[in-house]
Amino acid sequence: TPFHADVFRSYSWSANVCGRKKWLLYPAGQEEFLKDCHGNLPFDVTAPDLRDERIYPRYSQSQPPLEIIQEAGEIVFIPSGWHHQVHNLEDTISINHNWVNGCNVAVMWCFLQDELAAVQREISQWKEPMDDWHLQCQLIMKSCTGIDYKEFYNFLKVIAENRISILEKGLDEESSSQNNSKAAISTLGMLHAVFDLKRTVKVLSSLSANEDFRKLDLSSLSPSPEALLQHLESAIDTALL
């Protein structure tokens, strides 16, 4: 695979069923030193062109990549935002999985804001003559990333409702089993659910206050962002009593 970071800046793991892979990984932020004079990332971080300061003026400031040889039966974990490049050293079968949780959902939100800002810069000259310019920006961002701001809201809503159901189940178990309340709380985690909800509240608050989000037609969102925030905060308060 060419040099990239995973979708939505998600976490990922890759398990080798058979074969061998060579990984080149750069910690989040290092990719800035690998951009060319136009701000584009390289396709191949091993290409000799990267040493040409006229094309890649900041390459000399970058750190060497973390290099891993992954054998059959081994799993590699990729932290959120780490750019990487992968070479199959022989015929290889891998299983991969990406996910977002309370620890990196704010990173996903920052990524979406950066993506929208990039689209807005690209078509800024059409802002005045185009009545639905902000909607077109959302459409283009979705075509590039697979999601827009309203779908991100619905993503947060689904996660929040799931965590609230965990809290409600945990509270029911606690009330019906007073002699074993600690066991009831720890069964997939009340604390885990509260943590995720707190992070969701923080991101949802930022989304709700975002100028580009507020320009959209939010009447189709159910519940409204304000109502969902109140519900989440109430659920957190009840769980922590």
User: What would the pLDDT profile of 114-133 be if each residue is shown by its tens digit?
Assistant: 999 999 999 999 888 888 99
pLDDT exceeds cutoff 70 at 183:
no
Question: pTM of the full predicted structure?
Answer: 0.86
Q: Which residues of 192-228 are buried (b: 16+ CB within 10 A; e: fewer)?
A: ebbbbbebbbebbeebbebebbeebeeeeeeeebeeb
For 7-99, CATH gives: 2.60.120.650
Q: What is the dihedral of CA 220, 224, 228, 229, to 10 degrees?
A: 140
User: What would the pLDDT profile of 77-117 be if each residue is shown by its tens digit?
Assistant: 999 999 999 999 999 999 999 999 999 999 999 999 999 99
Rounded to an integer, the average pLDDT of 3-31 is 97
Question: Domain residue spans in the chain?
Answer: 7-99, 104-239
User: Alpha-carbon distance 18 to 9, whole Å?
Assistant: 27
Percent of the chain with pLDDT over 90: 83
